[in-house]
Amino acid sequence: METSASLLEGGPLAAKIKQEVKTEIEEMVRAHGVRPGLAAVRVGDDPASAVYVANKIKACEEVGIRSEHHALPESTTTAELLDLIASLNSRDDVDGILTQLPLPAGIEERAIIEALDPAKDVDGFHPVNVGNLALGRPSLVPCTPAGIIELLVQNDVEIRGARACVVGRSQIVGRPMAQLLLQRDATVTICHSRTRDLPSVTREADLLIVAIGRTGMIRGEHIKPGATVIDVGMNKVTDADQIRELFGSGAGKRLDVLSKRGFTLVGDVHPAEAAEVAGRLTPVPGGVGLLTVAMLMKNTLLAAKLRRKISS
């Protein structure tokens, strides 16, 4: 697989962010006797959610955030979960609360998100924080879009004046991503499942950010030569022939992963075709996902500082 794209690795920046958070927390403990606290709430037995929460708890240990994990059974009701949220809202030693999504079908997700104290909403999903972001006011910002901005800035990717295209309009990535790009003076287009002639729109973009949850959907024809492509997707692929199609001559390592784990992770961007056209490209895994957890640590620290009126 011939490549022109250089990889925008998330690992080094994630490590840098976590080290900065750790240093600030050590200073906060020394100067104020305060250690930030994060409460992670998980409902049910979804394996992916269990892994995500475990990774977040591990990151807390690495940076010095006190963490607690509330693992609730699948049978938990909306009322029971609301009671837990109310309890965590009232505790002064809890600075951040995250409820791992998706929640089981019987729980009203919107009611849970809206019940969070906005000052402790480290995922940035509460309507107050969404509104503050839309108005350009300081707020807790969703972790994945915030991490992408950090990745672009740290790698000197020009945002001001750039044509940016966001494929996907979720509240978790697509919409907040567009807001953050607008605030940095990009010209932003949002595409989605109803966009007509998608390749003609995405090919205009200097900066293409893809978060749609469809394996390898964005192909070479969608990408402007030399563009920076950020792949937010994280999809499991279990078919060897599909892996060969996606990775071409570079499929060997992924086939090894398939034989060991039973799957390999692939983003929403076709890796072989994108690598031939893009100027810069995030890998999957090893790209955006690592930054999401690092930014959660940064948000928890920020929430602790804002709640306690501790200046930087």
pLDDT digits (tens, 9 = 90+) for 223-261: 999 999 999 999 999 999 999 999 999 999 999 999 999
Is 156 inside any structural domain?
A: yes
Of 84, 117, 150, which closes a domain? 117
CATH code of the domain containing 88: 3.40.50.10860
Whether residue 166 sits in one domain with residue 98 = no
- In percent, the amount of the chain with pLDDT more than 70 equals 99
pTM exceeds 0.75: yes
Whether residue 286 sits in one domain with residue 146 = yes
Is 256 inside any structural domain?
A: yes
Is cis: bond before 285, omega within 30 of 0?
A: yes
If DSSP states are collapsed to H, E and C, what string results for 77-120? Answer: CHHHHHHHHHHHHHCCCCCEEEECCCCCCCCCHHHHHHHCCHHH
Whether residue 275 sits in one domain with residue 159 = yes
Total structural domains in the chain?
2
Rounded-to-integer distance, Cα 69 and Cα 56, Å: 10
The question of whether 56 is a catalytic residue gets the answer yes
Is 16 inside any structural domain?
A: no
Of 117, 150, 168, which closes a domain? 117
Which of 121, 123, 231, 268 is the catalytic position? 123
Mean pLDDT score of the chain = 95
CATH code of the domain containing 175: 3.40.50.720
What's the pLDDT band for 48 if we cut at 50, 70, 90?
confident
Whether residue 280 sits in one domain with residue 238 = yes
Whether residue 169 sits in one domain with residue 45 = no
- Residue type (1 letter), 298: K
pLDDT of the residue at 157:
97
Is 209 inside any structural domain?
A: yes
**At how many degrees (to 10) do helices 143-154 and 174-183 cross?**
40
Is 148 inside any structural domain?
A: yes
What's the pLDDT band for 1 if we cut at 50, 70, 90?
very low
Whether residue 105 sits in one domain with residue 214 = no
pLDDT of the residue at 219:
97
Which of 18, 95, 100, 268 is the catalytic position? 100
How many CB atoms sit inside 10 A of residue 158's CB?
12
Is 308 inside any structural domain?
A: no
Whether residue 251 sits in one domain with residue 169 = yes
Average of per-residue pLDDT across 24-33: 96
Task: Measure the CA dihedral 265/268/271/274, to 10°.
Answer: -160
Please report which helix (H) or strand (E) contains residue 154, including its range: helix 143-154
The question of whether 120 is a catalytic residue gets the answer no
How many CB atoms sit inside 10 A of residue 50's CB?
15
Pairing of strands 96-99, 37-43: parallel
- Residue type (1 letter), 221: E
Whether residue 99 sits in one domain with residue 217 = no
Residue 48 belongs to what domain range? Answer: 33-117
Which of 56, 224, 298, 305 is the catalytic position? 56
For residue range 132-182, what is the model confidence (pLDDT) as tens digits? 999 999 889 999 999 999 999 999 999 999 999 999 999 999 999 999 999
Is 136 inside any structural domain?
A: no
Whether residue 166 sits in one domain with residue 64 = no
The question of whether 100 is a catalytic residue gets the answer yes
What's the pLDDT band for 5 if we cut at 50, 70, 90?
confident
Rounded to the nearest 5°, which phi and psi values hold at 38?
-125, 130
Is 263 inside any structural domain?
A: yes
